[in-house]
Amino acid sequence: MIDIKLSKRQEEIIELVKEHQPITSEQLAERLSVTRAALRPDLAILTMTGILEARPKVGYLYSNNKGNSIVYDYIKEITVGEIKSSPTIVNEDTNLHEAIVQLFLDDAGTMFIENNGYITGAVSRKDFLKVALGNTDIHRVPVGIIMTRMPNIITVSDEDTAYEAARKIIEHQVDSLPVVEKVVDKDGKEHAKITGKVSKTNITKLFVKLGSS
């Protein structure tokens, strides 16, 4: 069985449900001072794993059937390689204007940056927004200047489970994770080559698929 590591907010949700059950998502959001949308991924994980039970028109109850959920048993067998999609990738020397245009053409939340075929960083829509609101010349500055660099990028591999990918997305509060494979060059140096991405959309599509099967 996979060890389920919960975030601080997920632990807080569990304690609130224990104390006030049944409790609705609106009430949870109010007590945690966040939006219902922000809570949806956490509640999805907690119900998927069987820790919480969701009852329509009633609210959430604490069940503590950790690891005994049918959905959890199914999703832990699904690998990242089965649900990943094509990433948006540009080279480090691509200027910010071109990178922003490409990001919106692909309707992506995160762009991954490469150099010599290996991932070197990532840039989110928020990063681009911060730059656009400043005095930066987006036609001249390369995207590599503003990116978050490796090894500070959270990654997954084809062999990781969909659950692990979802947990990392929630825990690190990111929209998307690069799927990478390790490559060793002729000098014996290890690099990460990007082969895809797993985003919140990929996870949502998986839940929809489970619900319709």
Q: Strands 59-62, 52-55: parallel, antiparallel or unpaired by DSSP?
A: antiparallel
User: What value does the mean pLDDT take over residues 63-85?
Assistant: 75
Which tokens in the block code for residue 121? 């960083």
User: What is the rounded CA–CA span in Å between residue 25 and residue 17?
Assistant: 10
What are the tens digits of pLDDT across the range 27-43?
999 999 999 888 888 88
Strands 89-91 and 110-115: parallel
- Please tell me the predicted confidence (pLDDT) of residue 195: 97
Cα–Cα distance for residue pair 85/198, rounded to 1 Å:
7
| DSSP symbol at 87 | P
Mapped onto helix, strand or coil, the DSSP state of residue 203 is helix
Section 80-104 average pLDDT: 96
Q: What count of Cα atoms within 13 Å lies in the side-chain half-sphere of residue 122?
A: 23
Which domains does the chain show, CATH number per domain? 8-75 (1.10.10.10), 80-212 (3.10.580.10)
Q: What do you get for the CA distance between the two ends of the chain, in Å? A: 24
- In this predicted structure, the answer to whether residue 75 has a pLDDT above a threshold of 70 is no
When pLDDT is averaged across residues 89-118 and rounded to a whole number, the result is 96
Reported confidence tier of residue 192, pLDDT bands at 50, 70, 90: very high
Mean pLDDT of 149-178: 91
Return d(Cα 60, Cα 54) in angstroms, integer. 5
Q: What are phi and psi of 109, to 5 degrees?
A: -90, -25
Distance of alpha carbon 61 from alpha carbon 53, whole angstroms: 5
